[in-house]
Amino acid sequence: MDKFDYDLFVIGAGSGGVRAARMASSFGARVAITEDRYLGGTCVNVGCVPKKLLVYASHFAEDFENSRGFGWKVGSTDFNWQQLIKNKNTEIERLNGVYEKILSGAGVELIEGHGSLVDEHTVAVDGKNYSAERILIATGGWPSIPDIPGKEHVISSNEVFFLEKLPEKVIIAGGGYIAVEFAGIFNGLGVDTTLLYRGPLFLRGFDEDVRKFLAEEMRKKGINLKFETIIDSIEKTDNQLQATLTDGSTLTADQILYATGRKPKTEGIGIESLGIKLDKAAAIVVNDEYQTNIPSIYAVGDVTNRVNLTPVALAEGMFLARRLYNNETSPVDYENIPTCVFSQPNIGTVGLTEEEARDKYDQIDIYKSSFMPMKHTLSGADEKTFMKLIVDKATDRVIGVHMVGPDAGEIMQGIGIAMKAGASKSDFDKTIGIHPTTAEEFVTMREPVD
Ligand code: NDP
């Protein structure tokens, strides 16, 4: 008889947990997974997927406008938020079902309920104990909202996808991925949108040229960007919210969205009682093989607060299953992870920023280009695209690629492969462009800037 009920018990059916569970099962392990909220985790339910659908929805306003220059006469348009949310919910429910099928098809047992650790080999789900040789914690993250007076009136990315009514006026607090993405979504849908960021320029950590360029483009679209200030307190007055800012001014809105980061979801799962080591940000500390200080307990994804992106959690979950149940050792490569901010226009980026490259390399060449994309020669829109290559002069290796413009995420995926393959600037130069595209600019930039 087996010593344990399962070989692997996974807590959390988000991107990392589901991938690890089904891969482990495909290698012959006996696997169970528990989830108390929704299958697919943040990405599928209140993250990447619904966000992208909302970005598509919001872009139509501009598309209708832009079509006129191409001879279209667009009749009166009308947007129905409730319809969008209903359709989005139907799609998400479909995906929840797909996840359920994927798990059952892979032979993983799904145990619905709240899982918490009892000891190093036991998880309790709603009062019933399950034993496993190994336990994987993949509980993800949760929006983090600073303690300010009136905090109870704000929403986070958990609620924004389910608003019953589209606000007329919105304030977004924060200057990261979620803040700029939702500023674009609300503004596109015709909402009077203000984004507040505490520092001098949002998107800290991204290339400075990119940050400045995006700020300019967002302002051109009518988004009110206010930097060096943030909300001090919020009061509810009738149907409005009044925010008093740290610069003393006040702003009113009917919704205030806080996008001030996410914290690892480590509470309420018995981590403290087992003495699992957490870092200062309350993230689970793991070694290179995602093992915690308790040898039978592992963790992957946002709960470890390394690189909080879905594809990274997938890669970590996959590595763990291969390592434990298929004897494979090739580790996750965290170098040159391409990423996209679905702002309007998009940011696509891979590799080092200019600031990082200057710190790391003796001499670098910078290639930059900003131009009006062909589409806007007729659309009449005043939107520009920006592209930038950073090259290590000594080796000719391309060490950073950045873009602000439509489909930057799509373009950057291919560039990410080139970077992984160690492409040099002369490889970029030797590549024949696809004409006429925006992306061809990446292979035709000849002269470095001073
Ligand atoms: P981010 O960490 O990207 O940004 C948080 C923002 O909030 C920063 O501008 C930060 O400022 C600010 N902030 C933090 N604490 C406070 C505070 N107490 N008061 C005021 N401002 C504060 O978090 P997000 O919530 O935007 O997104 C969470 C994570 O989810 C991202 O890091 C990303 O990994 C992931 N994500 C990825 C997406 C994608 O791939 N397209 C889309 C959405 C999310 P400062 O910079 O000064 O610290």
SS (H, E, C) the chain: CCCCCEEEEEECCCHHHHHHHHHHHHCCCCEEEEECCCCCHHHHHHCHHHHHHHHHHHHHHHHHHHHHHHCCCCCCCCCCHHHHHHHHHHHHHHHHHHHHHHHHHCCCEEEECCEEEEECCEEEECCEEEEEEEEEECCCEEECCCCCCCHHHCECHHHHCCCCCCCCEEEEECCCHHHHHHHHHHHHCCCEEEEEECCCCCCCCCCHHHHHHHHHHHHHCCCEEEECCCEEEEEEECCEEEEEECCCCEEEECEEEECCCEEECCCCCCHHHHCCCECCCCCECCCCCCECCCCCEEECHHHHCCCCCHHHHHHHHHHHHHHHHCCCCCCCCCCCCCEEECCCCCEEEEECCHHHHHHHCCCEEEEEEEECCCHHHHHCCCCCEEEEEEEECCCCEEEEEEEECCCHHHHHHHHHHHHHCCCEHHHHHHCCCCCCCCHHHHHCCCCCCC
Annotation marks residue 376 as catalytic: no
Across the chain, mean pLDDT equals 97
pLDDT in tens, 245-278: 999 999 999 999 999 999 999 999 999 999 999 9
Give yes or no: residues 125 and 267 share one domain: yes
pLDDT of residue 238: 84
- What is the number of domains present in the chain? 3
Indicate which atom in ligand 1 lies nearest the CA of residue 202: 9
Tell how far the Cα of 259 is from the centroid of ligand 1, in angstroms: 6
* Pocket of ligand 1 from Cβ distances under 6 Å: 146, 174-179, 181, 197-199, 202, 204, 230, 259-262, 308-309, 339-342
Which domain-ending residue is among 325, 355, 374? 325
pLDDT of residue 120: 98
Contact status, residue 45 vs residue 121, Cβ threshold 8 Å: no
1, pLDDT greater than 80: no
Indicate which atom in ligand 1 lies nearest the CA of residue 307: 34
Question: Which residues is 297 bridged to in the sheet?
Answer: 135
pTM of the model: 0.97
pLDDT band with cut points at 50, 70 and 90 for residue 450: confident
- Separation of alpha carbons 396 and 365, rounded Å: 9
- Mutational pocket test of ligand 1: of 45, 159, 260, 306, the residue with most ligand atoms within 8 Å of the beta carbon: 260
* Percent of the chain clearing pLDDT 90 (strictly above): 99
Find tokens 């990405």 and name the residue.
43
Find tokens 């763990």 and name the residue.
320
pLDDT of residue 239: 85
Sheet holding 250-253, edge to edge: 231-237, 240-245, 250-253
- 376 falls within a domain: yes
Tell how far the Cα of 333 is from the centroid of ligand 1, in angstroms: 23
Give yes or no: residues 347 and 294 share one domain: no
Which domain-ending residue is among 260, 281, 314? 260
- 234 falls within a domain: yes
- 157 falls within a domain: yes
Query: Which one of 59, 376, 402, 435 is the catalytic residue?
Result: 435
Domain with residue 201: its CATH number is: 3.50.50.60
pLDDT in tens, 369-384: 999 999 999 999 999 9
Give yes or no: residues 272 and 250 share one domain: no
pLDDT of residue 167: 98
What residue's CA is closest to ligand 1, atom 36? 177
Give yes or no: residues 37 and 129 share one domain: yes
- 417 falls within a domain: yes
- 67 falls within a domain: yes
User: What is the mean predicted confidence (pLDDT) over 52-72?
Assistant: 97
How many Cα atoms are found within 13 Å in the side-chain-facing hemisphere of 412? 26
Tell how far the Cα of 204 is from the centroid of ligand 1, in angstroms: 9
Q: Which two tokens stand for residue 226?
A: 């206010």
Domain with residue 361: its CATH number is: 3.30.390.30
- Separation of alpha carbons 400 and 392, rounded Å: 9
Q: Which two tokens stand for residue 240?
A: 């409005």
Q: How far is CA 48 from the centre of its chain?
A: 6
pLDDT of residue 121: 98
pLDDT in tens, 172-222: 999 999 999 999 999 999 999 999 999 999 999 999 999 999 999 999 999
Find tokens 């960007």 and name the residue.
225
Residue 189 vs residues 78, 193, 222: alpha-carbon distances, Å: 10, 10, 12
User: What is the mean predicted confidence (pLDDT) over 322-331?
Assistant: 95
Indicate which atom in ligand 1 lies nearest the CA of residue 409: 41
Q: Name the residue range of residue 274's domain.
A: 6-142+263-325
pLDDT of residue 245: 98
Give yes or no: residues 78 and 223 share one domain: no
Contact status, residue 298 vs residue 194, Cβ threshold 8 Å: no
Give yes or no: residues 11 and 133 share one domain: yes
- 448 falls within a domain: no
Give yes or no: residues 227 and 268 share one domain: no
Give yes or no: residues 303 and 198 share one domain: no
- 334 falls within a domain: no
- Mutational pocket test of ligand 1: of 178, 234, 245, 353, the residue with most ligand atoms within 8 Å of the beta carbon: 178
- Separation of alpha carbons 116 and 268, rounded Å: 7
Tell how far the Cα of 143 is from the centroid of ligand 1, in angstroms: 9
- 382 falls within a domain: yes
Give yes or no: residues 202 and 241 share one domain: yes
pLDDT of residue 222: 98
Give yes or no: residues 136 and 267 share one domain: yes
pLDDT in tens, 20-58: 999 999 999 999 999 999 999 999 999 999 999 999 999
Give yes or no: residues 157 and 122 share one domain: no
Indicate which atom in ligand 1 lies nearest the CA of residue 260: 7
Q: Which of 171, 330, 312, 376 is closest to 255 using CA atoms?
A: 171
Give yes or no: residues 131 and 10 share one domain: yes
pLDDT band with cut points at 50, 70 and 90 for residue 86: very high
* Percent of the chain clearing pLDDT 70 (strictly above): 100
Find tokens 């696997």 and name the residue.
31
Tell how far the Cα of 433 is from the centroid of ligand 1, in angstroms: 36
